[in-house]
Amino acid sequence: MKPEIAIIRIKNLRLRTFIGIKEDEINNQQDIIINASIHYCANKARSSDNMEDALNYRTITKEIIALVENNRFSLLENLTNQVLTIASKHPWVELAEVEIDKPYALRFADSVSLSLCYTRETSS
């Protein structure tokens, strides 16, 4: 039987951090919005109802919050990559995607966002 893939989605996690290269961005926190999708095999969790058989999305989210709130970032690429590293570090994760929006980064746009994706390499 093919393993069942579960998808954890963290939607619209709204945080504030220092991000950017302009003086006002360096000196003032800005809002960011994080969306993450984490795919993992959930066969054990589906039948056991035991937290140790599942990925703990609360733990993942707390780690993302600590990263964002306790650091400064010049580039959205770097921040997105660091969040993706957290989302994908558990060995059960097959695929993870992270998108981070920086609202009002451009004058006539709602936001600018950057997405990165991780896929676990399978050994042949």
The CATH number that applies at residue 58 is 3.30.1130.10
| Residue 70 domain flag | yes
| Residue 66 domain flag | yes
Return the pLDDT at 2: 59
Distance between CA atoms of residues 40 and 93, nearest Å: 5
b/e per residue 42-55 (b: at least 16 CB within 10 A): beebeeeeeeeebb
| Residue 101 domain flag | yes
| Residue 62 domain flag | yes
Q: Where are the alpha helices (DSSP H) in the chain?
A: 23-27, 43-48, 57-69, 76-88
Range of the domain at 101: 5-119
For 89-120, the pLDDT digits (tens) are: 999 999 999 999 999 889 999 999 999 999 99
Return the pLDDT at 90: 94
Mean pLDDT calculated for residue range 34-40: 97
| Residue 86 domain flag | yes
Q: Which amino acid is at 107?
A: R
Burial of residue 61 (number of CB atoms within 10 Å: 0-12, 13-18, 19+): middle
| Residue 35 domain flag | yes
Return the pLDDT at 44: 82
Q: What are phi and psi of 36, to 5 degrees?
A: -135, 145
| Residue 124 domain flag | no
Query: What count of residues does the chain have?
Result: 124
Number of domains in the chain: 1
Name the nearest CA neighbour of 79 among 70, 61, 95, 67: 67
Name the nearest CA neighbour of 63 among 90, 83, 91: 83
| Residue 7: pLDDT band with limits 50, 70, 90 | very high
| Residue 97 domain flag | yes
